[in-house]
Amino acid sequence: MLNRIERKVMDLLYERCVGRKSVLLAPQEIQEYLAPKDELTFKQIEIVVKHLMVDGYVDVYHSDNKGTVNYVVSLKSRGEAYEREKKDARDRRIRSIGWKVFLSVIGAVIATSVAIIIRSCSGS
């Protein structure tokens, strides 16, 4: 399961890579994409990208062009299915919340019913 930062980076990578075999991406682009809320160093970006590689979302190769490091990123099969996985996770959260609300309502109805039965038995 991806954490919030990994999801944001994967959103960027998916957006750039979808429909293409591979894409050239600078760490600065990832940093700018995350900039308003998350200030990451290049070392932290490197770690996030490695985690995405280990989790099987992307293949990343480093390209050194005149002293600047760039990533050559291509989606793996799990990366290509990222959008569907994201939608499924959202649907699971919604079902989970719905189930919890349902159980809370049932609990309240049962508690009220028991209270009414106890009141009627005690004659109050």
Count structural domains, the chain: 2
Are 74 and 98 within one domain?
Answer: no
**Residue closest to 49 by CA, chosen among 41, 34, 60, 37:** 60
Q: What is the largest CA-CA distance in the chain?
A: 90
pLDDT of residue 124: 55
The encoded tokens of residue 4 equal 């919030």
Q: How far apart are CA 13 and CA 2, in angstroms?
A: 14
Residues 91-123: tens digit of each pLDDT: 888 999 999 999 999 999 999 999 999 998 886
Residues 68 and 107 in one domain: no
Report pTM: 0.72
pLDDT digits (tens, 9 = 90+) for 49-72: 999 999 989 999 888 877 788 889
Q: Which secondary-structure segment (H or E) carries 111? A: helix 82-122
Q: Which domain holds residue 14?
A: 4-78
Query: Is a pLDDT exceeding 90 seen at residue 40?
Result: no
Give the span between the Cα atoms of 110 and 97, in whole angstroms: 20
Q: Can you give the pLDDT at residue 26?
A: 87
Pair 91, 104 in one domain: yes
Give percent above pLDDT 70 in the chain.
98
pLDDT at 37: 79
* 71 shares its domain with 121: no
Let me know: does 23 contact 79? Beta carbons within 8 Å: no
Q: How many CA atoms lie within 13 A of 94 on its CB side?
A: 6
